[in-house]
Amino acid sequence: MTDSSTGAGAAYGDRDPDALARRAGERANPDRDQHFLVDDRVLDRIPAYLPDDVDASHLLEIGGGAGALTDRLLAVAADDGSADTDAQRRLSVIERDGVFAGFLREEFATAIDDGLLDVIEGDALDVDLPPFTACVANLPYGVSSEIAFRLLPEGKPLVLMFQAEFAERMVASAGDAEYGRLSVSAQHYAAVEIVERVPKEAFAPQPAVESAVVRCTPRDPDYEVGDEAFFLRFVKALFTQRRKTVRNAIRNTGHISGLDDPEAVVDAADEDLLRQRPGDLDPSAFAALAELARDHGSPTEV
Ligand SMILES: C[S@@+](CC[C@H](N)C(=O)[O-])C[C@H]1O[C@@H](n2cnc3c(N)ncnc32)[C@H](O)[C@@H]1O
């Protein structure tokens, strides 16, 4: 590609991340979750973690910052991947900080003029999400869980950077020490895998913790959930009693799950499930129990 330091006119994919952070004109503020990726090799690999068959026609990035990842994603968007040049791809970037949103608009003015990029200045927890086909982001860690659970129900491929400890909880399996509400909820929506561990040195300023890139590939679960909100509430309720048996966890958490008659659920449930602990149940077992609870436990809105 071309000169990596020239700013607005440069082609995409090889801007120098340090130069970008310098040109952004303000020091990144860790109190605002601003840890910018400065390792070119990591930046080059992240978009490549999207599934091979991904529909990249409308990518979404959350937290554009000084634009190092934006630049890589624009390289994907600019290459429409087909002989049909009318098949214009697009990248939308949501950035809460007005300084960096303004910087992105200047730095990538050509992409905006070409209809390749739009910068949405706002909080990713509040703004209307554009109709994206896949999302790639180095997330602000302070709100990474809230953002992930805004994105997961959309059912699109996601490649997201998290704190390593959070990522490990997302991908944990039943029986693992890290397995919990987060694992069940994430795996309900997607097949989740850690595709890369990223050391602190890859960021400036460096975060306090190690990071990991997680790929979420949407899946159709092999079980039925009639009421998703109730299912997620039921999982949350049972994990508040993770050291108890499932039997006692159901009995003790009707006020959280919204069950008026938890005893009726216990009466109807399979003894093998009741004897286990919440951390031993995989998402399909939780779903089976949640359906039983809806049928027998007189659920009400909480
Ligand atoms: C970890 S930095 C990533 C920056 C850049 N994408 C990179 O990889 O170098 C997270 C970015 O998210 C922005 N941010 C923080 N909270 C946000 C929110 N609630 N909504 C949107 N952006 C947010 C920060 O201003 C920062 O630019």
Domain at 75, CATH number: 3.40.50.150
More confident residue, 8 or 216: 216
Residue 100 beta carbon below 6 angstroms from any ligand 1 atom: yes
Residues 72 and 166 in one domain: yes
- Closest atom, ligand 1, to C-alpha of 61: 6
Q: Provide the number of structural domains found in the chain.
A: 2
Q: What pLDDT score does 10 carry?
A: 54
Instruction: Please check the confidence at residue 289 and state whether its pLDDT lies above 70.
Output: yes
Q: What pLDDT score does 142 carry?
A: 93
Structural domain for 160, as ranges: 7-218
Is the residue at 223 inside a domain?
A: no
Question: Of all protein residues, whose CA lies closest to atom 16 belonging to ligand 1?
Answer: 140
Choose one of 218, 238, 257: the last residue of a domain: 218
pLDDT band at 79 (very low <50, low <70, confident <90, very high): confident
Work out the average pLDDT over 54-80. Answer: 94
Residue 58 beta carbon below 6 angstroms from any ligand 1 atom: no
Is the residue at 302 inside a domain?
A: no
Is the residue at 1 inside a domain?
A: no
Is the residue at 165 inside a domain?
A: yes
pLDDT band at 22 (very low <50, low <70, confident <90, very high): confident
Residue 120 beta carbon below 6 angstroms from any ligand 1 atom: no
Domain at 287, CATH number: 1.10.8
Binding-site annotation: residue ranges: 35, 37, 63, 95, 123, 138
Work out the average pLDDT over 47-76. Answer: 96
Mutate to test the pocket of ligand 1, among 16, 40, 43, 62 (most ligand atoms within 8 A of CB): 62
Residue 31 Cα, ligand 1 centroid: separation in angstroms? Answer: 11
Question: Of all protein residues, whose CA lies closest to atom 11 belonging to ligand 1?
Answer: 63
Residues 93 and 234 in one domain: no
Mutate to test the pocket of ligand 1, among 32, 107, 126 (most ligand atoms within 8 A of CB): 32
Question: Of all protein residues, whose CA lies closest to atom 25 belonging to ligand 1?
Answer: 97
Place of tokens 């009693």: 241
Residues 207 and 234 in one domain: no
- Closest atom, ligand 1, to C-alpha of 125: 19
Work out the average pLDDT over 24-36. Answer: 81
Give this prediction's pTM: 0.92
Binding-site annotation: residue ranges for S-adenosyl-L-methionine: 35, 37, 63, 95, 123, 138
Residue 37 Cα, ligand 1 centroid: separation in angstroms? Answer: 11
- Closest atom, ligand 1, to C-alpha of 127: 20
Residue 35 beta carbon below 6 angstroms from any ligand 1 atom: yes
Q: pLDDT tens across 168-224, in order?
A: 999 999 999 999 999 999 999 999 999 999 999 999 989 999 999 999 999 988 899
ipTM of this complex: 0.99
Residue 67 beta carbon below 6 angstroms from any ligand 1 atom: no
